[in-house]
Structure 1
Amino acid sequence: MTNDTLTGPAAPDGPATATPPRRPGLVRRTTTHDSLRLSGLRGPVTLDARGRDLRVEPDGSTSILAAQRVMVEVTFPERAIARIDTDPGEPRLGALLGARAASGFRQKVIEALPGEGESRSVRFQLLDDLPTALLISGYALQKQVAPAPFDRERKAAGLTLQYPDLCAGWITGGTIVRGLEETGQVPRPVGPAVGPIAGTDPDGWHEVGPLPAHGMRRRRRLDVWWEPGEPDARVECFFRDSHMDAGGVETALHEYTVHATVDPRSGTFTSCTADFGALPWQECPVALASAGRLVGRRPDGLRRHVRDTFTGISTCTHLNDTLRSLEDVGALIDKLPAHHAG
């Protein structure tokens, strides 16, 4: 094996090309995290995070329930918060200045904004997703910068540092680990090209700016709605990490869609499945079955539950983050129009 770029698996139909229409009675949360390297690949990362909750009324009209933007400048390679601005403003977030956007950051958010997590707000989702969005933004460097020459000491240290069997993609004997064993480098994946996702409904997502070269974009869409004649609430959660190359071609690195139903009486998931549009490693789709573990659980507490129990080679760190975001489903269901089962 070499560490040249590898083409990752894509679903038979490829990545998503459109967004489902906004049906009457729908509540939709959309978020994006754009990781931008405005001062060059080795400079600080500017992270532009935006989100919106939108409800479609039974008559088809729409109302914006919440809208947030968080702008963060992060030093490289320290990953320290050098600047943080929000719209609407929140002066308490000044407590995050100097903090590393890495392990422990989410706890610092909870300490800076007591009660924010329990609110299930758009802002909390933006802040909760910030460290992983920043981590995956390192793909821009991996994609553009030539790998270092083979180093036997790096090879020997690689497996110790990279935690084999962390998830399905890091399974012992899999593509990543074999690449480390043979070359001392993580192989460089490349995903399929993707185009605009809004389709025929440009207002189906909140407004975002154009993604410049070497930018990374993390998209999330969480839809909840009542299906006529069905007692349970429907849930669909879409997730994609994408990269814009120097030639203006956007490619998908990770793409998952989770489909679920929630019993409004017990507040528990009655079904939960996942499918994918694009993934970086051939071993990754094994993790899809882990979504079924949410059946019988309530959305409340999912962020901690998934973090603590969804570990090992039957899971995927990026799918786990998607499942964690379902903690907000209950709050969005509460914003739906009254339910009349048929």
Structure 2
Amino acid sequence: MLSVREDVGVSTDTPDTDGRTGVLPAVVASDPGTMAHNGLHGPLRGTPERVAGSIRRTTNLDLIRPEGPDGPIRITGRGRDLRTAADGRGIVRATALIAATVEGDRVTALTTHPRPPGIADMVGRRAVVGWRTGLWRHLRGQHDAGTVLHLVLDDLPGGMIIGGFTRRRAIAESAGGPLPQPGRRLDVCAGWAAESRAAITLAQTGIPPAPVTPLAPDLGCDTDSLAWHTLPELPAYGISRRRRIDVLDTGEEVVAEAWFRDSFTDADGAHRVLHEYRVSVTADRGSYAVRHLSAHPRVLPHRECPVAAASAQRMRGIPFGQLRERVSSDLFGPESCTHLNDLLRSLADVPGLLALG
């Protein structure tokens, strides 16, 4: 059954007697893994089989620097919405592709499929600050419908933030010196709270504690060749955010699971995990208001990071369609996590996914 540490709101996965885990036995059957670091189990192995009647969205956003750590960033993204029929067949409802170039902090090229009106207006915008506002203004139809294309584009700011991690590793490798450190703003998240171990260590030594980055298990499912869309190989110092959202209307309630993994390839070709989270949700069928929500951190870089899982409880009672706005306005500061916030925001697309049925 699901055990919950009520003191911090962190859920840890332990298997039911039938091998399933979490609050969504109809959707999810996850490997509990082993306790890896920071009190967490480590990355999940594989991907659960699809369930009849469900909709599964999978996306990836990959960032690479083929011209070196200070060269332009080449970004590719893919997504797919797949409905599972009663007989188990997979029916593709929507797909998305993007290719972009970021130079400095600006998007200098952007191609997408499909190509809705407004895409050209996103070229020249900053890739982090103001990017999502631009999507809301210029691709409002995609935003409101919760399309797979919008989710891939919406991931760009998060991808840019994590992309600095592999850039610094590439610089350190080429220079043969220590890992260069970015400027740190304290109290922006739980892992970098002013009194966190990371902040104190950085202040005392000039170097933060090294994040533990376990090897990334394969996402394949031996019994389900359609569990994921095709994922490209990630070259050295490339970094990727991969997402999965499973949604099912049971006839009594809506159940959903959202999962993401930030992973990268190091100089030795090893594919490693930087962040991983899973969120399980039940909601009212009529209002889509969240009834129950559990956040399950699997891999996080610093000791205090898992504390942020408790912040997800503040989204109880909020309809799916309002989550993007409410997460942005309500979840911030030293009790929050930027990456968990992005995962919660992605649940705003649940009504759009259900409409694909």
Same fold (TM over 0.5): yes
1:233-270 residue CA offsets vs partner (Å, 9 max, x unmatched):
21111111001001111111100000010110232111
Q: Partner of 1:18 in structure 2?
A: 46
Q: What is the distance in 2 between the residues matched to 1:188 and 1:143? A: 12
Q: What is the distance in 2 between the residues matched to 1:171 and 1:104? A: 25
- For 1:51, which of 79, 93, 107 is the aligned residue? 79
Q: What is the distance in 2 between the residues matched to 1:98 and 1:190? A: 36
- For 1:294, which of 302, 305, 315 is the aligned residue? 315
- For 1:255, which of 270, 276, 280 is the aligned residue? 276
- For 1:211, which of 225, 234, 245 is the aligned residue? 234
Q: Partner of 1:4 in structure 2?
A: none
Q: CA deviation at 1:331?
A: 1.7
- For 1:172, which of 183, 194, 199 is the aligned residue? 194
| Contact kept? 1:51, 1:126, Cα under 8 Å | yes
* Percent identity between the two aligned chains: 36
How many residues are treated as equivalent by the alignment? 318
**TM-aligned CA distance change 1:305 to 1:58, over 3 Å:** same
Q: Partner of 2:157 in structure 1?
A: 131
1:224 paired with 2:252, answer no
AA paired with 1:84? L
- For 2:112, which of 86, 100, 121 is the aligned residue? 86
1:94-127 residue CA offsets vs partner (Å, 9 max, x unmatched):
2222211011111112222232211111111111
Q: What is the distance in 2 between the residues matched to 1:73 and 1:318? A: 23
1:66 paired with 2:109, answer no
**TM-aligned CA distance change 1:267 to 1:176, over 3 Å:** same
Q: Partner of 2:38 in structure 1?
A: 9
AA paired with 1:164? L
Q: What is the distance in 2 between the residues matched to 1:266 and 1:95? A: 34
Q: CA deviation at 1:135?
A: 1.5
| Contact kept? 1:233, 1:333, Cα under 8 Å | no
| Contact kept? 2:61, 2:159, Cα under 8 Å | yes
Task: Look up the SS of the partner of 2:320 in the other structure.
Answer: coil
Q: Partner of 2:28 in structure 1?
A: none
- For 1:285, which of 283, 293, 306 is the aligned residue? 306
**TM-aligned CA distance change 1:215 to 1:130, over 3 Å:** same
1:104 paired with 2:104, answer no
Q: What is the distance in 1 between the residues matched to 2:172 and 2:64? A: 20
| Contact kept? 1:8, 1:191, Cα under 8 Å | no
Q: CA deviation at 1:299?
A: 0.7
* Stretch moving more, 92-101 or 181-190: 181-190
Q: CA deviation at 1:10?
A: 6.1
Q: Partner of 1:340 in structure 2?
A: none
| Contact kept? 2:49, 2:221, Cα under 8 Å | no
**Residue ranges of structure 2 left out of the alignment (5+ in a row):** 1-35
AA paired with 1:146? A
- For 2:69, which of 33, 36, 41 is the aligned residue? 41
* Stretch moving more, 80-89 or 212-221: 80-89
Q: What is the distance in 1 between the residues matched to 2:343 and 2:118? A: 27
Task: Look up the SS of the partner of 2:169 in the other structure.
Answer: helix
Task: Look up the SS of the partner of 1:197 in the other structure.
Answer: coil
* Stretch moving more, 197-206 or 277-286: 197-206
AA paired with 2:82? L
